[in-house]
Amino acid sequence: MNIAFSPCPNDTFVFHAWVHGLVVGAPKLEVTYADIDKTNYWAAERTGPEVMKISYAALPWVLEDYALLPCGGALGRGCGPLLLTAEPSTDPKQLQGATVAVPSERSTAYLLFRLFAAQQVHGGVGQVVVMPFHEIMPAVRDGKVDAGLVIHEARFTYQNYNLHMLVDLGDWWEKDTGHPIPLGAIIAKRSLDKEEVTNWIRASVQEAFKHPNQSAEYVATHAQEMSKAVTEAIFDCM
C-alpha cells in the first residue's frame, strides 16, 4: 500500500509502527514524504497515493474519491498557526497591503488566515505568496515578505530567527468559536476498506504511545532541523 505524509514529528510518530512492520496484519507501506501543500494538491488532482495526510481545509476537494478516517489526524488546542513579522506588533493593521508568505492555499492555516483577515484587516492584505514552510521564516527575517504564516512547529523556533508573533491564529480561532483547531486529516481512497485501514492506523498510534522511545530515532531522522526539545513540545500538542 502506498502512503504520503510529512516528515514532521507528529506524522512520523503516528506511522512509525506501521512503516516498520509492527502492526499485525497490516500491509507493507511504500512511503512518500511530502510537504502538506503537495499532498493537498495530489488529493485534489486525484493523483495521490492510497492513503494521505492532508489539511482539513482541503477536504471539500477530495471527498468524492477519498474517505476521511477517524484516527491519526491532528486536532488540538494551543497548537495553531502563527502570523509572524520582523518587527514587534500585535496590530492587525500591519497586514494592510502586506505581502504574506503562506505554506499552501489549501491548508487549514491559510483558511484561518483568510477568516482572520476578513474580520480584522480592514482594507485587506496585499499579495499572498506560496512557499515551502521551511523557507517562510527566513523570508520574513530577510525582508523578502512582510509577514509569514507558519504551522505549529514554528511556534517553538521562530524566536531563533528574531521574529515576532503578530497573532496566534489558533488562539483566535478557539476564542472565536470555542472549538479545537482541525489541522491535519488522514484520508484513504474509497476503493479501500475504510474500517480495515482505520484499524491499522489506530494500532500504529497505540503502539507509538505505548512505546514512545521506539520511534525516537525515526522521528529524529526526519525532523530535519528540529531539536529534541522542539520535537517533544510538538508531542505535547498531540
Domain with CATH 3.40.190.10 in the chain: 2-76+181-236, 82-177
Widest CA span in the chain: 56
Give the pLDDT confidence of 143-201 residue by residue, as tens digits.
999 999 998 678 888 999 999 999 999 999 999 999 999 989 999 999 999 999 999 99
pLDDT on residue 223: 74
The CA dihedral of 194, 80, 222, 16, to the nearest 10 degrees, is -30
Lowest mean pLDDT among 98-112, 175-189, 222-236: 222-236
- How far is the first Cα of the chain from the last one, in angstroms, to the nearest whole number? 26
Query: Active site includes 152?
Result: yes
Across the chain, mean pLDDT equals 91
199-225 burial, b at 16+ Cβ within 10 Å, e below that, comes to ebbebbbebbeeeeeebeebbeebbee
Asked whether residue 75 carries a pLDDT value surpassing 70, the answer given is: yes
Half-sphere exposure of 158 (CA within 13 A, CB side): 29
Mean pLDDT of 44-54: 93
pTM of this structure: 0.83
Set 152, 179, 211, 222: catalytic member: 152
Query: Of 66 and 226, which is predicted with more confidence?
Result: 66
C-alpha to C-alpha distance for 217 and 139, rounded to whole angstroms: 30
Quick one: 2-76+181-236 is in which CATH superfamily?
A: Periplasmic binding protein-like II (3.40.190.10)
Fold of 82-177: D-Maltodextrin-Binding Protein; domain 2 (3.40.190)
